[in-house]
Each structure stands twice: as structure tokens, then as C-alpha cells.
Amino acid sequence: MAKLSNILTDRTSPGLRLITPTSIAATGGSGSISANGTVSFTSASAISLNDVFSATYKNYLFLIRTTASADNIKIRMRVSATDDTSANYHNLGLRITTTVDRVASYAQTSYRIGEASTGKGAIQAVIYGPFLAAVTQFNGLITNGFQSPMENGFHCGTHNVATSYTGCTLIPESGTMTGTVSVYGYKD
């Protein structure tokens, strides 16, 4: 039987691997990368993660804990330290509070990846094939248990440009955000 320490460090075995960005850029605030690869940011109007997508992994898991001065947290694809701001992001979701609301946006300049508001938001999202020169897709789950009323739901979407992306930028709809983001690669 293999030792647990060997399984966790074996990059050839299937599973999740925490990815450390080569660099980050915090706009309007501060940001840092911990020794394990988790990115922390404070009062940022944007946080960019450079070189987290590569040929090593096809799909990626994002775990985000954040508070923001506006409801929506959005994401843009990025390559060569430049965001793709083309109007090719399409988004659909359900927001569940005391009612169920459909959330849709088409031909936007970013995905709506989740909601945080002034409460502590928790976002889990999977991005499919961002490094492949093909359409990039995503889906995610959100919860904001501190907002009244409590919001839960899911989002999914596509980016209809067949470009190989190496990074991304998280953006609050307006104002700033504070929190952490960890990116994991799915090893086949």
C-alpha cells in the first residue's frame, strides 16, 4: 500500500492539486500568495491570478470566500497579464431566497461567478478547459448565509472565444472585496 505522503505529492495520480499563481495583481487594494498557494486580498476592486491554467490540467476548481460591497462577483479570462474584456461571456443561474429568481446575462464582458454582498459569501466554481483553444465553460454553487434573506443558488456559462487562457481576474460588480481564493487543478 502506498504511503499517504507519496500519494499527496505524486503529480501523476488522479485528484485535485492546489495551484500557486506565478504572480497576482491587486487593483485598488492589496493581495498576497501564501506558501501553500492560496491568494488573500483586501479592499481590492480586482484580483488577477497569473499563470494558474496550463497544459497540466484541463479543468479547475475555484474555492472563494469573500465579502464585497456589491452583490456580484465576476470573473474574466486572462492571458499574457491582460484580461479578455470582449462581450463574449454568457451566464445563466438561479438565485434562491424566499423566492426563486432566474439570473441571465448575455454578451457581457465577464461571467457572474457568484454573490457575496456585505455578508460572507462562499463560492465553489469549476472552469472547464480554459487553457484549451476552445470554448471555455463554467458552473458554480453559491451561498451567502449572512445576508437577509439568505441566498443560495448556482450559475453556469460559456465564453465563446477559442483562445488558450493562462489566468483570470475576479471583480466585484462595484466597490471592493476582501477574501481568499484557492485554485485546484483536476488531474485526470
Of all residues in the chain, what percent carry a pLDDT higher than 70?
77
Note the pLDDT of residue 1: 47
Q: Residue 91 and residue 93: Cα distance in Å, rounded?
A: 7
Give which of 182, 62, 64 is closest to 130, Cα–Cα: 62
- With 0-12 CB in 10 A as exposed, 13-18 as middle and 19+ as buried, what is 36? exposed
Q: What is the CATH number of domain 18-187?
A: 2.60.120
- 182/36 Cα distance (integer angstroms): 9
What mean pLDDT value characterizes the chain? Answer: 83
Higher pLDDT, 39 or 177: 39
Q: What is the DSSP letter of 58?
A: S
Residue 76 has pLDDT above 60, yes or no: yes
List, for residues 162-181, the tens digit of each pLDDT value. Answer: 999 999 999 988 888 899 99
Residue 147 clears pLDDT 60, i.e. is over it? no
Overall average pLDDT of the 39-64 stretch: 95
The residue behind cell 497569473 is 50
Instruction: State the pLDDT confidence band at 10, using cuts at 50, 70 and 90.
Output: low
Of 1-5, 96-100, 124-128, 158-162, the range with the lowest mean pLDDT is: 1-5
Domain borders along the chain are 18-187
